[in-house]
A and B are shown apart, each in its own frame.
Chain A
Amino acid sequence: MIEMVGTFLRRIYSSFATNVLDVPPRLLAFLLFLVLLFLPTARLEERILRIVTIACIYAIFAASWDLLVGRTGQVSLGHALFFGIGAYLSAFLSKFYGLPIWATIPLSMLFCALVAVLLGFPCLRVKGPYLTLVTLAFPLILSVVLFSLEPPFGGEYGISLSRAQSLLPLNAVYQQRVAEYYLILFLLFVSAITLYKIANSKTGIVFISILDDESASKASGINITKYKLLAWAISAFFASLAGTLYAHYILTTPPTTVLGLTTSFYPVIMTILGGIGTIYGPIAGAFTLWSLMEIFRFTEELRALIYISIIIIFILKWPKGIAKFVVEKLDELTEKRELHEGEKKK
């Protein structure tokens, strides 16, 4: 019995070693994940912990955007729509119907996937920059509508939740923050792995074929509409996860934030910063953006000015994205090392 467990563990370790430890980019990602895992043990201020948690939420959001845009090439500038619907619906259900969070979050995610498919039908007629600019309109329209519906949706301030409706209601505030941090980190890990698997599966390859040449993939017998709608649905599903987490973490849903232009722009900036079409890129981008925001907090007046300028410089310097650049460098290094070792053996 013990022997069996032992071999099982050894097998897991060896597959982990070949799949993660021997691949430098994955090793780096694993190390960064370890840093995130042990971050709360450093007894951080609550504020910092809160910022890292929100960065995790936006990382999920940006990764979901990347699956849609980086893989199928349908540029959406209105992803705040799914973020916002997720946040509003989940808050609405738990406030007015008293449903527990583990029911409201999946319900909102499924609803958002449905919304994406329904909106997808008319939107797929529209292509290229037209699609980009028309998607921008949806969250703005919805935010105005919700803004005006004061009684159920709280108007300007959104739906405000009580502390009992937060993600993990505990008595001690700091412990609650730590517990929520681990929950959100876990969800980020799960969604990142899922999105990465989807992006590299057979379906993901079909997505890329649509990005590369739509007519050619159509000619190869691929049902383009089906796959495009599928990409929208998956992307909306995870984007709304980020929205629901945001609502239950912040405990309000201000329409100008969850449906605002900035929320639509964030995943675009993060993805381009990290590297498009990679899934890990937007996550790296989200953490880079948030750490840059925090580093320059000492100069409140010029903070935004400085970090936005730095991001622009990053994009000009590494147009492919930071994460992609790092991964390519690491791959180059391993190739060189392997060549070197090969020569030695001769």
Chain B
Amino acid sequence: MIAVVAIVIAVALVLTLWYYLSPVEPATAIEKIKNLAILGAISGAVYALLALGFTLIYGVADVVNMAHGAFYMLGAYAFSVFLTNLGYNSITNPSSFLLFTALILAALSISLVGVLIYRLLIHPLMGDTLSVMVVTIGATLVLQQVILWRFHDVSMPVPKLLEGYTSLLGVKVFYHDLLKFALSLGLIAILWIFIERSKIGGAMRAAAQDREVAMLMGINTGRLYMLTMAISASLAAIAGILLNPPAASPQLREWTYPLVMSFAIVILGGLGSIKGSLVGAFIIGYVEYSVRIFFPGMSFLQVAAALIVMVLVLIFRPKGIFGKRVEAE
């Protein structure tokens, strides 16, 4: 309820601000609002995919995983590496089979990286939040150095998953973007069903509620956390592949941006809450696109705008929109 009110107020604020700063004809205004509605939804869906992994590993294992941005970065790289090794060249159009094989292989290999990081670095320090944070920052820097060392002079084009575009409500929408939207929402739905219906999902929810009791009920929490980490890493990797601007080589050092974005989304929605990160992702997506569409001259402010919205929400709801209320300790 509060989320809805907050969104309405934010939208109204942005629109009035925009109206007074740069008055335009109503026709253009409606055009821009339509643009915002569609593009914001698309980026929101991919952000949700990105943030879900972060909130999942926090909710289940109480791990603030600073390497989440690294998984995103590695995902895009692994995707282009698999593509080139599967015989893709930028002249002929790749078949969609090739693209999806590369996508799945990339997600699987990054989930392996996630499992390794969990096993080698996080598991020995479990329970010490700060040390876990530092070693995952360290892991991120190491992975970034490996990428820099190995790929610093290689340009690797990432193609669009689908060519062509269509028109939706009079707005030009690429098939690639539509696929992004559908794929993200599809994966989120699968994950939701997995957590709510399957036995392992039940174990995850149990471990999230009370680790010790879950262990007493015979749940192997170590293995469960490893699985959660694998899921979380592969979600980040897929988000990295989808969010990368098509036909541009994945940029170096781009782990900070996705990491900060996942923080903002997850904090906004409430740490550990899947519903919360969905809502948070759409809010952040819309905020970013409203800056980009309504104030094109100030698009460098989009990250700052997202962070300011996060801070404002937190001042009024210290545990995020769907987070647990502050308990009487």
Contacts and interface: CB of A to CB of B under 8 A. Distances in A.
Contacts of A138: 311
Interface centre among A134, A214, A261, A316 (most CB of B within 10 A): A134
A117 to B, nearest CB: 16
B321 to A, nearest CB: 12
B243 interface: no
Interface string B128-145: 111101110111011001
Nearest to A143: B304
A308 B138 contact: yes
Contacts of B315: 122, 125
The size bracket of the interface on A is: 35 or more
A269 B137 contact: yes
B304 A302 contact: no
A205 interface: no
A153 to B, nearest CB: 14
Contacts of B267: 130, 133-134
Contacts of A48: none
B256 A215 contact: no
Contact of A136 (B131, B134, B260): B260
Contact of B256 (A130, A261, A319): A261
A26 B133 CA distance: 30
B125 A316 contact: yes
A145 B303 CA distance: 11
A71 B329 CA distance: 20
B318 A312 contact: no
Nearest to B64: A129
B135 A316 contact: yes
Contact of A132 (B64, B256, B303, B320): B64
A309 B266 CA distance: 29
A185 to B, nearest CB: 27
Contacts of B308: 141
B130 A268 contact: yes
B304 A140 contact: yes
Interface in B85-134: 121, 124-125, 128-131, 133-134
B271 A269 contact: no
Interface string A74-109: 010000000000000000000000000000000000
B319 interface: yes
A305 B146 contact: yes
Interface string B287-321: 00000000000101101100110110011001110
Given A144-B301, A316-B135, A130 B263 contact: no
B149 interface: yes
B64 A134 contact: no
Given A301-B149, A315-B131, A130 B125 contact: no
B264 interface: yes
B318 A130 contact: yes
A137 B131 CA distance: 21
B286 interface: no
Contacts of A141: 304, 307-308, 311
A116 interface: no
A6 to B, nearest CB: 50
Nearest to B256: A261
B311 A137 contact: yes
B266 to A, nearest CB: 8
B326 interface: yes
Interface string A144-179: 110110000000000000000000000000000000
B304 A269 contact: no
Contact of B301 (A132, A148, A214, A308): A148
A138 B264 CA distance: 12
Nearest to B310: A137
A304 interface: yes
Nearest to B315: A122
Contacts of A126: 314, 318
Contacts of A315: 125, 131, 134-135, 138
Contacts of B310: 134, 137
B138 A312 contact: yes
B79 interface: no
Given A145-B304, A315-B131, A319-B128, A137 B264 contact: yes
Interface in A292-308: 301-302, 304-305, 308
B58 interface: yes
Nearest to A69: B130
A120 B298 CA distance: 29
Contacts of A309: 138, 142
A104 B218 CA distance: 62
Contacts of B266: 133
A214 B329 contact: yes
A267 to B, nearest CB: 11
A38 B79 CA distance: 54
A308 B145 contact: yes
A269 B267 CA distance: 23
A134 B311 contact: yes
* 6 closest A-B pairs by CB: A144-B304, A137-B307, A305-B145, A312-B138, A272-B134, A125-B318
29 contacts: A125-B315, A125-B318, A126-B314, A126-B318, A129-B58, A129-B64, A132-B64, A134-B267, A137-B260, A137-B263, A140-B307, A144-B301, A148-B300, A215-B329, A261-B260, A269-B134, A269-B138, A272-B130, A272-B134, A273-B134, A305-B142, A305-B145, A308-B142, A309-B142, A311-B138, A312-B142, A315-B135, A316-B135, A319-B131
Given A69-B130, A130-B271, A133-B267, 10 more contacts: A75-B130, A125-B318, A129-B58, A130-B267, A133-B263, A134-B314, A144-B303, A214-B329, A273-B134, A302-B149
